[in-house]
């Protein structure tokens, strides 16, 4: 068991390293000069050269790569003063004896670990809230639609999910903002806020936007899966044995329908941790999505690589979690 776990973790690390390396190469081979963008398109060549030297981009690409990878995780003191200790000015210590250094953002001029440290919790909260809403709406609507197939409830759920899938996220977001913030004034238009109450109020619309979009998929998934399951022999047998309809649906229908759902939820959660770019932009939620968009526009290599590493780690971790949940849900997997 421990060996299997270690093997999975080793593969996970390899995947993250490979993704980061590909991102590093891609970011450097596609046209676009970060120094030129930071100096401004109107800067003269001599001034662009100053900026390039300051960013360390005047070194050969292989040297830049080697430096990045050797600095990424390296030995270092648990406590240190990043302002006084120039060698570790852009580091963070997550475990004793090990530093993580993702470099300094070209545009924000802050250590990337600090930038990500500020953004990740906000994106995580939004991702969890969104997935919770997706599950709450999607599973409920899917079960009801399956239970009352070809009824008004089914048509409403299927029609609603069709609308949710078809409508682009930005349209859902702007519509919710227009209705609940601009017209009804029950929620703030955008922003993260400064107090807990403001954070909580601020997350409702972005989470709802993502929730509606994702719930549409889950509704269709759960409904179709449940309809198939509820017509199977073992369900008929359960009913024949006198089991109540609620128990039939929950134990023999929903539980089995959750297996494919867990896969989708796991992937969704991993992707959402990478940042819900459109939603975060509409609602000015300062998470990883808006950060990565700005970083791409400015060719801010250290931030791009940092977000790639975080996102790939999240996706790998959520896949590991999904595998563990499979085992919990389906005894055959454990065998």
Partner 1 sequence: MRSIRKRCEALVSIAAAGAAFAILLNGIGCQSSLPAPIPSQATPEDAPRRGGTLRIASLGEPRGFDPATAADGLSATIVNLLFDGLVDYDDHNRIIPVLAERWEVTDAGRTYRFFLREGVRFHDGEELTADDVKRSVERALHPTTPSSWASQFAAIDGFERYTEKNEPHLDGVVVEGRYVVSFRLAHPDAAFLAFLALYPTRPVCRSGGDRVSPSWHPCGAGPFRLPPDGWRRGQSVDVVRHDAYFRPGMPYLDGVRLLLLVNPTTQRFKFLEGELDFFRDLSASDATRFRNDPRWKALGDDEVDRTVTGEAMNVEMPPFDNVEVRRAVAAAIDREHYRLLKPPAISVADQPIPPAVPGHDSAIRGQRYDYAAALDHMRRAGYPYDLATGTGGYPHVIEYLAYDAGFPVFSAQILQQELAKIGLRIEIKLLSFPAFIALTHKRKRVPFSLGSWDQDYPDASDFLDTLFSSETIAQEQSPNTSFYRNEELDSLLKRAREEQDEPARLRMYKTASQIVCDEAPWAFTHYYHYYSMKQAYLRGYRPHPVRVMYMASTWLDRAGVRTAQRAAPLFRDALGSIFGSGR
- What does the alpha-carbon distance between residue 311 and residue 315 come to, in Å, rounded to a whole number? 6
Count of residues touching partner 1 (by CB under 8 A): 76
**119 class by beta-carbon count within 10 Å (0-12 exposed, 13-18 middle, 19+ buried):** buried
Give the bridge partners for 89, in sequence order: none
Residues numbered 188-207 forming contacts with partner 1, rule: CB under 8 A: 188-198, 200-202, 204
Among 4, 152, 242, 331, binds partner 1 (CB under 8 A): 152
Residues numbered 11-40 forming contacts with partner 1, rule: CB under 8 A: 30-34, 36-40
Q: By the 8 A CB rule, do 142 and 260 touch? A: no
179 lies in the binding site for partner 1 (CB under 8 A): yes
Q: For partner 1, which stretch binds (CB under 8 A), given 187-195, 213-221, 226-234, 237-245? A: 187-195
Nearer to partner 1 by Cβ, of 138 and 289: the residue is 289
Q: By the 8 A CB rule, do 299 and 41 touch? A: no
166 lies in the binding site for partner 1 (CB under 8 A): no
86 lies in the binding site for partner 1 (CB under 8 A): no
Look at residues 263, 248, 308, 290 and name the one whose alpha carbon lies nearest to residue 24. 308
Q: For partner 1, which stretch binds (CB under 8 A), given 6-14, 67-75, 179-187, 221-229? A: 179-187
Q: Which residues have C-beta within 8 Å of that of residue 47, sequence separation ≥ 6?
A: 39
- What does the alpha-carbon distance between residue 40 and residue 54 come to, in Å, rounded to a whole number? 15
Nearer to partner 1 by Cβ, of 140 and 193: the residue is 193
For residue 49, the minimal CB distance to partner 1 (Å) is: 8
223 lies in the binding site for partner 1 (CB under 8 A): no
For residue 311, the minimal CB distance to partner 1 (Å) is: 18
Strands (E), 77-197: 91-95, 98-101
117 lies in the binding site for partner 1 (CB under 8 A): no
Instruction: Tell whether the torsion through CA atoms of 185, 187, 191 and 197 is positive or negative.
Output: positive
Q: For partner 1, which stretch binds (CB under 8 A), given 93-101, 131-139, 232-240, 279-287? A: 279-287
Q: What is the dihedral of CA 294, 297, 303, 309, to 10 degrees?
A: 100
Residues numbered 230-259 forming contacts with partner 1, rule: CB under 8 A: none
Nearer to partner 1 by Cβ, of 43 and 72: the residue is 43
For residue 72, the minimal CB distance to partner 1 (Å) is: 21
Q: By the 8 A CB rule, do 229 and 253 touch? A: yes
- Show the tokens assigned to 299: 């060719």
214 lies in the binding site for partner 1 (CB under 8 A): no
Name the DSSP class of 252: I
Q: For partner 1, which stretch binds (CB under 8 A), given 9-17, 123-131, 178-186, 230-238? A: 178-186
Q: By the 8 A CB rule, do 136 and 258 touch? A: no
For residue 137, the minimal CB distance to partner 1 (Å) is: 16
Helix (H) or strand (E) holding 73: strand 73-75
Among 187, 221, 238, 269, binds partner 1 (CB under 8 A): 187
Q: For partner 1, which stretch binds (CB under 8 A), given 236-244, 247-255, 287-295, 326-334? A: 287-295
Task: Determine the 3-state secondary structure of 98 from DSSP.
Answer: strand
For residue 258, the minimal CB distance to partner 1 (Å) is: 28
Instruction: Tell whether the torsion through CA atoms of 144, 150, 156 and 160 is positive or negative.
Output: positive
Among 2, 4, 41, 332, binds partner 1 (CB under 8 A): 41
Residues numbered 50-79 forming contacts with partner 1, rule: CB under 8 A: 50-51, 53-55
């Amino acid at each position: 068991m421990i060996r299997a776990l270690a093997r999975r973790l080793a593969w996970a690390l390899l995947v993250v390293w490979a993704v980061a390396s590909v991102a590093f190469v891609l970011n450097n081979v596609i046209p676009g000069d970060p120094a030129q963008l930071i100096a401004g398109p109107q800067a003269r060549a001599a001034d662009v050269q100053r900026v390039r030297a300051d960013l360390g981009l005047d070194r050969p690409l292989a040297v830049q790569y080697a430096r990045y990878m050797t600095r990424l995780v390296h030995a270092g003191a648990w406590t240190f003063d990043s302002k006084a200790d120039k060698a570790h000015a852009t580091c963070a210590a997550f475990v004793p004896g090990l530093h993580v250094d993702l470099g300094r953002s070209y545009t924000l001029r802050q250590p990337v670990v600090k930038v990500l440290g500020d953004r990740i919790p906000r994106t995580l909260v939004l991702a969890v809230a969104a997935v919770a809403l997706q599950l709450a709406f999607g599973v409920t609507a899917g079960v009801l639609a399956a239970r009352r197939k070809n009824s008004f409830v089914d048509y409403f759920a299927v029609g609603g999910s069709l609308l949710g899938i078809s409508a682009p996220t930005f349209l859902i977001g702007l519509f919710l903002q227009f209705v609940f913030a601009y017209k009804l004034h029950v929620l703030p238009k955008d922003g993260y806020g400064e107090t807990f109450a403001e954070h909580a109020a601020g997350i409702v619309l972005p989470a709802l936007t993502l929730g509606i979009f994702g719930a549409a998929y889950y509704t269709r998934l759960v409904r179709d899966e449940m309809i198939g399951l509820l017509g199977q022999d073992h369900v008929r047998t359960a009913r024949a044995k006198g089991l109540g309809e609620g128990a039939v649906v929950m134990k023999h229908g929903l539980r089995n329908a959750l297996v494919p759902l867990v896969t989708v939820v796991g992937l969704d959660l991993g992707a959402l941790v990478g940042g819900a770019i459109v939603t975060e932009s509409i609602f000015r939620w300062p998470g990883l999505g808006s950060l990565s968009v700005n970083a791409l526009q400015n060719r801010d290599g250290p931030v791009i690589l940092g977000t790639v590493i975080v996102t790939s780690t999240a996706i790998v971790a959520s896949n590991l979690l999904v595998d563990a949940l499979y085992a919990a849900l389906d005894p055959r997997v454990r065998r």
